[in-house]
Structure 1
């Protein structure tokens, strides 16, 4: 009879987590994705009796048609997946090679869509992992992102008789490694342009103002990142502008809104801008289509002439170096 592998010799799991993407760029696939996403109480924290009739009676009967067309425009046909899934998978694969420890198993999960957090935790346990570090790739904490990912992980553990030790990575909005990676990536991207932007807009994902009023630190985290990035790049707040994108519904969201900032810049005679999304660790619908197409068209329509969307950190050298730094910090004492 063989004994179990001692915990100090058992493999250790590292799970990179990002938001998600539909399983297919069609109406049915987008409807399933939005139903899961928008029914999360962390994402929409309205009373269920008020929100669910709106979600199932209105939103899921109208929004999937438009969103499906947008997903089709950015879909990765080679792998039949959304770009966020492709990039997150590549981040995990490349990180596995970078760290190179035979004891470490690196994988990825999506909070909405597949592979799910529960599925991937179970897969790591099946491979013998008794310790798992979950690394949410959200630099700034929000209840609807990092908080929701933690909920999903603990919901999975709730069903287990024997649970693994679990760590949840901390937000890294003010981490020097993150600010350095952003600054290096921005400088590199700017060097490839055939024009010099007069203004750079740092566009973060928005959040309903009501969630901030109830104590969510997200806006403060975004402002801290923006301030540190201004200092690192040697830019004034007027040169590197703060904005928030991706409003949904009629409620008031945190501002200034990216669409308003860009339109006002063009209207004030600014002809050349670049836009970057520091809060996104991987390019996705909100960066590729919203910033790269919708906001670009808005700028040009209002008198702008030159516009560039700078890429997210993705699986670049700067991005992978950052994730490696964060991962080793969360794994400290286990490896």
Structure 2
């Protein structure tokens, strides 16, 4: 690049190192995915995930021997088998990766339309690849002097939003020239997000007569202790469900909040989805639907757990019609809600 091509080098000496034109970055982050379904790929991914103190906060001396010697000797096999049932073999990646790429492609197009080439959009994963460290470094090398970090979690939780933020700031610690940074807040009660959820339900149930007996809003679980320690996740999930019901105009009791993916022996947020759907079936609710408002993209918890284990629990208890309503994924209404988040958080940085 010549000195004339970059006005910021106008007064620089001839031997000044190259300087990229200044840009603004938008970095969206999701949970993560293994690189493959084999034992060692699964073990690397699970080790990074389950070693995160935000996820499992037991003392290392107590947790790590159990994790390394017992859990990681067996769980990679079962988790790998589960991933194989949903794996995108054509692209050789998990559905979460495929969908995240689709989301970012649409968001990138919307950002380019609104701001032009001055704002770049990238994505990273908290666990696995592309790592937060690698992507932040690449964005800085591209000239991003300001970065907006957007965790793709509608509801805040220490084990999701906070650990993604932690990793982002760790990545900034590695940079000689740190960009200015902003972190987008959770968007669990944003009208555009609730509207996108409601539209996804109305596509499946367009009339009152077609409604299920119960719509189960199944959120990822967490230890109940986290709620008692001040994590707002449980309350935000409850509010999302209430706002969705109000937007749909459905009566009280027609949508229920449950929690899935229980791990370990500690008490988690209740009711547990897998138990609750069986109770509904036994109570005569033969036609139910499940939606997953906490997940921005379909993943192992929705494609395998909900449509596998949870569906089977309902049917074994006498349920007849089980419908899964997909996550918002790259739905246009979802991308519009995310673009709204981006625009609000870029205020003051760009016109």
Asked if 1:322 is matched to 2:334, the reply is no
Alignment pair present for 1:164 and 2:168: no
Give how far 1:191 is off. 4.2
| Residues 1:261 and 2:273 aligned together | no
Residues in 2 aligned to 1:283 and 1:4: alpha-carbon distance in whole angstroms: 44
Contact 1:195/1:306 (8 A) holds in 2: no
What TM-score comes out, normalization by structure 1 length? Answer: 0.96
Q: Determine the structure 1 residue equivalent to 2:290.
A: 275
Of residues 201, 210, 228 in structure 2, which corresponds to 1:186?
201
Q: How does 1:295-306 map to 2 (within 5 A)?
A: 295-306=310-321
Partner Cα distance (2:252, 2:106) in 1: 35
Task: State the Cα distance separating 1:196 from its structure 2 match.
Answer: 3.9
SS state at 1:130 partner: strand
| CA 147–131 in structure 1, closer or farther in 2 if over 3 Å, else same | same
1:177 CA displacement: 1.3
Counterpart of 1:65 in structure 2 is 77
RMSD value, Cα: 1.8
**Does 2:118 correspond to 1:114?**
no
C-alpha distance in structure 2 between counterparts of 1:79 and 1:124, whole Å: 25
Instruction: Work out which of the residue numbers 4, 8, 32 in structure 1 matches 2:8.
Output: 4
Once the two structures are TM-superposed, the CA of residue 73 in structure 1 deviates from its matched residue by 0.5
User: 1:219 corresponds to which residue?
Assistant: 234
Aligned counterpart, 1:39: 51
Question: Counterpart of 1:259 in 2: which secondary structure?
Answer: helix
Find the aligned partners of 2:66 and 2:25 in 1 and give their Cα distance. 40
SS of 2:175's equivalent in the other structure is: coil
The corresponding residue for 1:148 is: 163
- Which residue matches 1:81? 93
- How far is the alpha carbon of 1:261 from its aligned partner? 1.1
Counterpart of 2:260 (choices 221, 245, 253) is 245
TM-score (norm 2): 0.91
Alignment partners' CA distance in 2, 1:77 and 1:330: 37
Give 1:29 shift: 1.1
Q: How many residues align?
A: 333
- CA offsets 1:104-154 (integer angstroms, 9 cap, x no match): 111110100100111111111111110000100101101111100111011
2:310 and 2:302 map into 1 onto residues whose CA distance is 10
Tell me: CA distance 1:5–1:222, structure 2 relative to 1, closer, same or farther (3 Å): farther
For residues 167-223 of structure 1, the C-alpha deviation after alignment (integer angstroms, 9 at most, x for no partner) is 11101111111111111111113349x964111100000001111121111111111
Q: CA deviation at 1:63?
A: 1.1
Alpha-carbon separation, structure 2, partners of 1:317 and 1:77 = 26
Question: In the alignment, is the contact (CA less than 8 A) between 2:217 and 2:258 conserved in 1?
Answer: yes
Query: What is the SS of the residue equivalent to 1:278?
Result: coil
| Residue 286 (str. 1) matches residue 301 (str. 2) | yes
Instruction: Using the TM superposition, give the Cα deviation of residue 310 of structure 1 relative to its aligned residue in structure 2, in angstroms.
Output: 0.4
> CA separation in 2, counterparts of 1:202 and 1:237?
14
Instruction: Give the unaligned 5+ runs of structure 1.
Output: none
- Aligned residue for 2:35? 23
CA-CA distance at 1:236 after TM superposition? 3.0
Which of 55, 58, 62 is the equivalent residue of 1:50? 62
Indicate yes or no: 2:108 matched with 1:104: no
Q: Distance in 1 between matches of 2:135 and 2:252?
A: 41
